Structure 1
């Protein structure tokens, strides 16, 4: 199995999958909602040389990420993907090139939000003992994993190889009666859509959030879950097979 990761793909995963999950954190976690309650419009642009660029906006009690950073309030430039990845692992402190008067937002709102996100995406055993926390943690992990599937499928060498075998269409990843996300494939380019799929060409359905959590955390075998019926697959199974190969690579990037 290929185990090496590359810094450029990791930068895409960190920006669009990890930081991108701030959108969902602010929707699901009351504490996160409090941080941005009545927040005036402010946006943080991340410009990574040789890598991704995106803007995370906060306004009207909501958070949203979009590609590009031409119209951000605060701009954080990074000279390399390695430097940006250092922001995520806490070894690099960026200096804004724009928006110095808004630095207090970074320290008083953005950093606490990212710390809160880390708590949910890398929970302790004690945290997971609370059912409400465990439910939200699992939902956020699935949103992160779905976004990371798209980034790894588009940027990672092995991921692109698997994406090359995927025909156009949508894959539904659902948790029965709880939530759903969509992976869209168009010309072998993957896009994660954080809402249920309306017309899937293939579908992978988890019977519960607990099964979802165990599979994403490596505590359960997908084959065993398929055999006991806790995971169901429908439609073009080859699309799901290749997506799961990409998901294997995702676990290596998210564990970095």
Structure 2
């Protein structure tokens, strides 16, 4: 049975977090946010809050307890937020009613674009540029979901406790890089490579990353062919992959 709290953490801090990359990678999303200046706080009971800021043609998503925002969207429970992500419930605005138009019009269009890439059709995946965006957003979703599971799910906590303190770099050649840092059994993810990483997971291409993440390629076979390179303190990655295996269950 899926833990609604963990699912809400993933939906907010891994899935919805993709808005900042969507607005950079997708021309339609990029055009939607031009000239917009609004910061939206997502306040979900019992999980860490986040603020999504649209400014200067960019979108930035930050996990924070700050209340410095133009608009606050309140969700009375993790279930309420999860249903909003599924399009079955609406948020409760408690601040910034003059931005309702942006929420209903522009933000709704952005949400549709995000869904377009994260729930792709076969036709989309046949287009090289669209498939690349799908892979990048899917990778960010999966790897930013890992800390949410590691810090909140019982099995995730167990596997996280077995990861030595330090940083793991996850890289896609000609694509994005992410690093995940372990400290006393808690994990934190951030974009980019860390200079002091102790372990490395390197995909040789966007296509390889896409295949492994969507299940059409076997990771162990890819290690054998050199399409996926694992080096450094390998037990860190072994336990990280056990948490990664839980992600799909929360994103169904």
TM tier, shorter chain?
over 0.9
Q: Is the 8 A contact 1:11 1:52 kept in 2?
A: no
Deviation track 1:71-102 (CA, whole Å, cap 9, x = no partner) reads 12111111111011010011111221111111
Question: 1:148 aligned to 138, 142, 145, which one?
Answer: 145
Cross-structure match for 2:118: 121
Moved over 3 A (4+): none
**Separation in structure 2 between the aligned mates of residue 174 and residue 14 of structure 1, nearest angstrom:** 23
Residue 254 (str. 1) matches residue 251 (str. 2): yes
Q: Is the 8 A contact 1:184 1:191 kept in 2?
A: yes
**Separation in structure 2 between the aligned mates of residue 227 and residue 90 of structure 1, nearest angstrom:** 42
State how many pairs are aligned.
251
Q: Is the 8 A contact 2:71 2:97 kept in 1?
A: yes
TM norm structure 2: 0.96
Question: 1:56 aligned to 44, 52, 66, which one?
Answer: 52
TM norm structure 1: 0.95
Cross-structure match for 1:34: 31
Cross-structure match for 1:181: 178
Secondary structure of the 1:96 match is strand
Q: Is the 8 A contact 2:174 2:206 kept in 1?
A: no
Secondary structure of the 1:214 match is helix
**Separation in structure 1 between the aligned mates of residue 134 and residue 195 of structure 2, nearest angstrom:** 25
RMSD of the alignment, in Å?
Answer: 1.1
Q: Is the 8 A contact 1:173 1:180 kept in 2?
A: yes
Cross-structure match for 1:241: 238
Q: Is the 8 A contact 2:136 2:175 kept in 1?
A: no
Q: Is the 8 A contact 1:38 1:60 kept in 2?
A: yes
Q: Which moved more, 1:61-70 or 1:16-25?
A: 61-70
**Separation in structure 1 between the aligned mates of residue 183 and residue 141 of structure 2, nearest angstrom:** 21
Cross-structure match for 1:224: 221
**Separation in structure 2 between the aligned mates of residue 203 and residue 248 of structure 1, nearest angstrom:** 18
Which consecutive residues of structure 2, in runs of 5 or more, have no partner in the other structure? none
